[in-house]
């Protein structure tokens, strides 16, 4: 009897990080399944860092990234490329993660090719189709097509049930991002700021809805925090998008105790999170990862599809208002009891065993 084929599709760095535990587990079971990894190359340079960290290379790189292309062009080229690739491999299952354009087009291409689609990190919702944009649409649309929904938490599973998805096809597995971050945290040595004995504030901001004035206010607030706290250093990995870089550099370049750095490879970024004392972010993945290390997270967004951390108290949703950012960060930097109440709250996002559960469910359905 021939082995079933599972095609794993990824396109951005977050996709790749959260798909790697699933890919590695499928490859570990190579006597049971043929695992094919397809990359759309949506974040090409940053993807290569992830591949090197986990020792995996894609079987095919569709090379769909093109400078200056808009969402419509990326969607169209991705759909055509993935439809052709899935047609060549004729998989039993197509698996993709999250809420990117690659994930949406992977689900649609799987539907066109009549392959079962498994959605990793299913059920995240804000309830606002434009926030985050276009991610909220991507994940809602992917859910319509999915044969199996691998929800990271019960809250995410409940969202899918409320939308009318078949409860027998919804599985709470934990988040594969926790699998990835725990694996890397154990393997890598700490190399960040060995000569700095004080505190570290980590800022990551790249969301489209924060471009322009919101991002400028974020940067100004962080600079003021550094100026008010002489023991603190601010580290800012800058997204490669020039719109983001122009704003951050305009406010923060050349300032004392501020480091603007290139996006570190994933393993180094994990160690940077561990080295940090406070994280300000609009990233979804960082909201999930940081609580694993007991680091308070201030979420620079108006809505979040990851409310579990906010609900239990390890993260706080504060938006982008400069005064609010300063108020919340000052509280954590100046009040040890407020800090400890967030830092000592257990993460709600899983125990690092999500990938094995997902593979069990996939292989049990072919």
Among 25, 92, 121, 288, the one annotated catalytic = 121
Choosing from 13, 239, 301, 306, the catalytic residue is 239
Q: Give the containing element (helix H, strand E) for 157.
A: helix 154-162
Out of 29, 44, 199, 208, the active site residue is 208
Q: Is 320 helix (H, G, I), strand (E, B) or coil?
A: coil
Structure tokens at 53: 């960290």
| Dist. CA 151–CA 295, nearest whole Å | 24
Among candidate residues 48, 99, 288, 302, the one labeled active-site is 99
- Check if 135 is active-site: yes
What is the DSSP secondary-structure string of 78-126? HHHHHHHHHHHH--SEEEEETTSHHHHHHHHHHHHTT-EEEEETTT---
Q: Find out whether 261 and 248 touch, Cβ atoms under 8 Å.
A: no
Residue 361: Cβ within 10 Å count: 15
What is the spatial distance between Cα 287 and Cα 246, in angstroms, rounded to a whole number?
25
Q: Among this protein's residues, is 239 annotated catalytic? A: yes
DSSP element (H, E) containing 20: helix 13-28
Catalytic option among 206, 207, 257, 306: 206
Q: Look up 308 and say whether it is catalytic.
A: no
29/114 Cα distance (integer angstroms) = 25
Nearest partner of 55 among 264, 262, 267, 240, judged by Cα: 267
Q: Which of 48, 135, 147, 282 is catalytic?
A: 135
Residue 229 vs residues 188, 189, 199, 232, 329: alpha-carbon distances, Å: 30, 28, 9, 6, 11
Catalytic residues: 99, 121, 135, 206, 208, 239
């Amino acid at each position: 009897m021939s082995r079933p084929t599972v095609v794993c599709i990824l396109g951005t760095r977050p996709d790749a990080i959260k798909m790697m535990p699933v890919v590695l587990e499928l490859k570990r079971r190579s006597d049971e399944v043929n695992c094919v990894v397809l990359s759309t190359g949506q974040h090409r340079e940053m993807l290569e860092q992830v591949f090197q960290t986990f020792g995996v290379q894609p079987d095919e790189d569709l090379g769909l990234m093109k400078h200056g292309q808009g969402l419509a062009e990326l969607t169209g080229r991705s759909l055509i490329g993935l439809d052709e690739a899935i047609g060549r491999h004729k998989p039993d299952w197509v698996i993709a993660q999250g809420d990117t354009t690659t994930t949406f087009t992977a689900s649609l291409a799987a539907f066109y090719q009549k392959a079962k689609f498994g959605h990793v990190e299913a059920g995240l919702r804000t309830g606002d189709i434009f926030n985050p944009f276009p991610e909220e649409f991507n994940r809602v649309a992917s859910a319509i097509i999915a044969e199996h929904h691998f929800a990271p938490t019960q809250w995410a599973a409940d969202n899918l049930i409320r939308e009318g998805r078949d409860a027998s096809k919804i599985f709470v597995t934990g988040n594969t991002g926790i699998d990835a971050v725990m694996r890397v945290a154990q393997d890598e040595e700490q190399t960040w700021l060995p000569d700095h004995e004080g505190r570290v504030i980590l800022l990551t901001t790249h969301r489209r809805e924060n471009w322009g004035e919101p991002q400028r206010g974020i940067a100004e607030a962080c600079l003021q925090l550094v100026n008010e706290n002489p023991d603190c250093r601010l580290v800012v990995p800058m997204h490669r998008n020039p719109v983001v870089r122009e704003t951050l550099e305009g406010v923060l370049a050349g300032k004392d105790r501020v480091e603007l750095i290139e996006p570190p490879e994933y393993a180094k970024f994990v160690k940077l999170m561990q080295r940090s004392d406070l994280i300000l972010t609009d990233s979804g993945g960082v909201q999930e990862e940081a609580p694993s290390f007991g680091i308070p997270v201030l979420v620079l967004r108006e809505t979040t599809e990851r409310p579990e951390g906010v609900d239990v108290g390890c993260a706080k949703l504060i938006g982008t208002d400069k005064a609010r950012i300063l108020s919340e960060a000052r509280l954590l930097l100046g009040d040890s009891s407020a800090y400890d109440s967030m830092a000592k709250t257990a993460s709600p996002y899983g125990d690092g065993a999500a990938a094995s559960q997902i593979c069990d469910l996939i292989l049990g359905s072919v």
